[in-house]
Structure 1
Amino acid sequence: MNPAPTVSFEDTAIAFADKSDAELYKTYLLFAAMNNNSLVKMGGGMMKKALSWNLPVKFLIKKSIFEQFCGGETIQECTPTIHKLAASGIGTILDYSVEGESNEASFDHTMHEIIATIDMAANSGHIPFSVFKVTGLADSDVLAKAQLDQEMDAQDKAAYSRARARVKAICQRAYDKGVRVFIDAEESWLQETIDQLCYDMMELYNQERPIVYNTYQLYRHDRLDVIKRDFERAQKHGYFLGGKLVRGAYMEKEARVAQQKGYPNPINPSKQATDDLYNQALKFCVAHVDRIAICAGTHNEQSCYLLMDLMAQRGLAPSDERIYFAQLLGMSDNLSYNLAHAGYKVAKYVPYGPVEAVMPYLLRRADENTAIAGQTSREFGLVKKELDRRKHK
């Protein structure tokens, strides 16, 4: 057993090394504003209204919250961000974050956009993964019907067949180019359909190494059992399991729908239960790393320390390609930069898309930062600490 490299997530000099004083002060002002819950709620509503009324606010949005959390409006606009992250040993995961369009033309457009991110990854060396949501390629009502095993008419069957063909086209390109691809998790009433698509793609494309990764939301109390089931399935069918482990993104919606429809809430009863389950999942995956490759998508410091210790206990080098850490652009730089500095494999999710189209994503980031206990205060405090350090050095 080799001891894990010493990493301090309090080291702000490393965390913000690639930010100038002016950039850091701008970040400070943004998180100061986001620390105010009522301001976030009011500001979000005002931004949406201003955009819907075609008021000239796009420039302001682009130069503030958009710049903090997004790489650009197009793949090409993300290039400076990709290079900046790469200079600190951090990879990029290009995330086309356009939401809410549900028609066949938009599904086809999204498929071509994801394939373009795969092609860019293959030619870059700084983009270790691509990612997509199945609801970006398929009507969610059709996915839900497939999960319930409802009788589908000819139109629904044709729509599902087209959705599956889009998923297959993306995974085929990822396999051909040697680029790993995440299939994101979604709501529980769609997830079994998505899981089934993942199994089919893994069986096709993960025979030699992990290319297709499923996503496990560990705020759902059954997900560790599902990981174990999926591991057994991968063993039985002779393919590698790729797993992105996250805590989860639809908690309030899941609870509300469960109550409305009268079935048990699929979410853990407490934050601690979710943390415990997440860490148990890390332990299981690292114990079976010869068959499972993982990406730990987490902003939780204790989970990162645990994963480092688990790797050391198994004698795994920080640079082992089978284990990645990932955080969102603009958040938890104290984790990403310090982990990368110590030699671990780290990637940042870099969302992109037209400002108007990624507003739902941006408002979720703002809400999350105010809703997660202390998240904005933590980010704000670290930026303030670094500004103070620079002033007095």
Structure 2
Amino acid sequence: MAAIEPMVDVGMWVMNSKLMDMAVLREIILGTIKHTFYEHFVAGKDLPEVGQTIVKLREAGLRGILNYGLEHAGDNQSCDQNMEEIIQTVESTKSLPPSSVSFVVVKITAICPPRLLKRVSDQLRWEYRDHSYNLPWKLNTLPIFSDSSPFYHTLSKPDPLTPQEELNLQLAHQRLVKISQKCVEHNVPLLIDAEDTSIQPAIDYFTYSAAILFNKDDNPIIFGTIQAYLKDAKERLFQAEKAAEKMGVPMGFKLVRGAYMSSERQLASALGVESPVHNSIQQTHACYNDCASIMLEKVANGSGALVLATHNVESGKLAAAKARDLGMGKNYQKLQFAQLYGMADTLSFGLVNAGFQVSKYLPFGPVEQIIPYLLRRAEENRGVLSTSTLDRQLMRKELLRRFKATIR
């Protein structure tokens, strides 16, 4: 059902409609979702439940990436609350089986309001275009842009950050530092997710400044995310990696295809500018595979660490073959493959059986909180489920086998 795109449209309409204001209907809707989509794609409502899921995954040879569904905070108070929830998630890993959790996830929008991230991104874009533009608050970081990066979000010189905005930026940075310190304490890497290009420069700024502080001794604690469907992805990735290597900072990267294709193209079209997204899926595949191949070589030579997050079987096969050729086989800790919980299990178990470290991305949280989050993810990932044909073919085959076994 989730592979049928109109289901996403219906779900979005229902969750945003006045039906949710009616107590009885709300309970019926949430109850239906909880026992169907929620239980398939969500690892649990709280840390004890997600812990049970992780134990089951570990028995199957998989690890877990913990993602408490927090994002889009509106003020400092909600940012502080989100920080505490993320810290509790990190602390919970000490009660789980050793090495069963590969990462804890943070979305910077959970600890810094998106409107401030947009302002910071505008400042960073303008500084790249005008080197005389001074940013007194800027910390040491890695390259964020390439010449091919999209700059149409900032068409005119932005006003400098106000004293209050600078204070809020400092507070957000302190939140990330506290979370990172807790990750160092518990030896759990922190995976910082990517978002849309209007705020991604600020997210990269947070990521790289934290990596410079905490990634030491060839042990990346902070991992950034590169979205390969963006035309500037390869250049930005290699520039950041090269700068990190020069500084002696072991950088961790997660490589994904991307999740904001529709909104990115719509905005670019509305402004009459070229889309930042590759013009075809074949170009995105090529970019992903090229980035993966080159980064595998760098990691094999001792430079940083890599997470290859993909549901694409061909990309998985290519990367696995390359990794084996480079001697990055069983128990090689600096390479991880990853897929979403409830999706691409065929690829996950295939990679595990081939001797690689594989993790499942585990969103968790109360139904009321996580459902809107999942609907946004479904909206952003349109087409991902509909292309997971291999999994669905194998499910149908197994269902048919069980049915025949039952009636014999």
For the residue of structure 1 that corresponds to 2:199, the secondary structure is helix
Matched, 1:379 2:348: no
Give the letter aligned to residue 254 of structure 1. E
Cα distance in 1 for partners of 2:192, 2:392 equals 32
Please point out which of 1, 5, 9 is paired with 1:41: 9
Deviates more, 1:155-164 or 1:209-218: 155-164
Please point out which of 297, 314, 317 is paired with 1:302: 314
Please point out which of 356, 363, 375 is paired with 1:363: 375
| Contact 1:91/1:346 (8 A) holds in 2 | yes
Greater relative contact order (CA < 8 Å, ≥ 6 in sequence): 1
Please point out which of 186, 211, 214 is paired with 2:221: 211
- Structure 1 partner of 2:351: 339
For the residue of structure 2 that corresponds to 1:213, the secondary structure is strand
For residue 376 of structure 1, report the CA deviation from its aligned partner: 5.1
| Contact 1:217/1:246 (8 A) holds in 2 | yes
- Root-mean-square deviation (Å): 2.0
- Structure 2 partner of 1:240: 250
Cα distance in 1 for partners of 2:211, 2:70 equals 26
- Structure 2 partner of 1:128: 102
Please point out which of 133, 152, 167 is paired with 2:176: 167
Matched, 1:325 2:325: no
Cα distance in 2 for partners of 1:37, 1:264 equals 26
Matched, 1:86 2:77: no
For residue 154 of structure 1, report the CA deviation from its aligned partner: 1.6
For residue 343 of structure 1, report the CA deviation from its aligned partner: 2.4
The verdict on how the C-alpha distance between 1:300 and 1:153 changes in structure 2, with shifts beyond 3 A counting, is: same
TM-score (norm 2): 0.83
Please point out which of 99, 107, 111 is paired with 2:83: 111
For residue 360 of structure 1, report the CA deviation from its aligned partner: 2.7
Cα distance in 1 for partners of 2:80, 2:283 equals 39
**1:71-106: per-residue Cα shift (whole Å, max 9, x none)?**
122122212211111110111111111344412222
For residue 328 of structure 1, report the CA deviation from its aligned partner: 0.6
For residue 61 of structure 1, report the CA deviation from its aligned partner: 1.4
Please point out which of 231, 242, 246 is paired with 1:221: 231
Cα distance in 1 for partners of 2:396, 2:268 equals 41
For the residue of structure 1 that corresponds to 2:101, the secondary structure is coil
For residue 48 of structure 1, report the CA deviation from its aligned partner: 4.5
Please point out which of 182, 206, 210 is paired with 1:201: 210
Cα distance in 1 for partners of 2:283, 2:212 equals 32
- Structure 2 partner of 1:21: none
For residue 349 of structure 1, report the CA deviation from its aligned partner: 0.7
For residue 247 of structure 1, report the CA deviation from its aligned partner: 0.4
For the residue of structure 2 that corresponds to 1:207, the secondary structure is coil
Matched, 1:282 2:256: no
- Structure 1 partner of 2:34: 62
- Structure 2 partner of 1:13: none
The verdict on how the C-alpha distance between 1:228 and 1:100 changes in structure 2, with shifts beyond 3 A counting, is: closer
Please point out which of 51, 63, 70 is paired with 2:20: 51
For residue 361 of structure 1, report the CA deviation from its aligned partner: 3.0
Give the letter aligned to residue 62 of structure 1. K
Give the letter aligned to residue 314 of structure 2. Q
Cα distance in 1 for partners of 2:5, 2:196 equals 26
Q: Which runs of 5+ in 1 are unaligned?
A: 1-32
Determine what percentage of the aligned residue pairs are the same residue: 32
Cα distance in 2 for partners of 1:381, 1:159 equals 50
| Contact 1:179/1:211 (8 A) holds in 2 | yes
| Contact 2:262/2:380 (8 A) holds in 1 | no
Cα distance in 2 for partners of 1:339, 1:270 equals 27
**1:213-261: per-residue Cα shift (whole Å, max 9, x none)?**
0000000111111111111111111110100000001111111222334
For residue 43 of structure 1, report the CA deviation from its aligned partner: 4.2
Cα distance in 2 for partners of 1:210, 1:373 equals 32
For residue 47 of structure 1, report the CA deviation from its aligned partner: 4.6
Please point out which of 175, 185, 192 is paired with 2:194: 185
Cα distance in 2 for partners of 1:220, 1:369 equals 15
Superposition pairs for residues 252-291 of structure 1, below 5 Å?
252-289=262-299, 290-291=302-303
Cα distance in 1 for partners of 2:279, 2:46 equals 40
For residue 169 of structure 1, report the CA deviation from its aligned partner: 1.0
For the residue of structure 1 that corresponds to 2:226, the secondary structure is strand
Cα distance in 2 for partners of 1:83, 1:355 equals 22
| Contact 1:326/1:347 (8 A) holds in 2 | yes
Please point out which of 241, 256, 261 is paired with 1:251: 261
Deviates more, 1:42-51 or 1:67-76: 42-51
Cα distance in 2 for partners of 1:122, 1:308 equals 31
Give the letter aligned to residue 140 of structure 1. P
Could you list the structure 1 runs, at least 4 aligned residues long, displaced by more than 4 angstroms after superposition: 364-370
Aligned residue pair count: 361
| Contact 2:72/2:114 (8 A) holds in 1 | no
For residue 307 of structure 1, report the CA deviation from its aligned partner: 1.0
Cα distance in 2 for partners of 1:186, 1:369 equals 12
**1:9-39: per-residue Cα shift (whole Å, max 9, x none)?**
xxxxxxxxxxxxxxxxxxxxxxxx3344334
The verdict on how the C-alpha distance between 1:152 and 1:43 changes in structure 2, with shifts beyond 3 A counting, is: closer
For residue 369 of structure 1, report the CA deviation from its aligned partner: 7.2
Q: Which runs of 5+ in 2 are unaligned?
A: 124-157
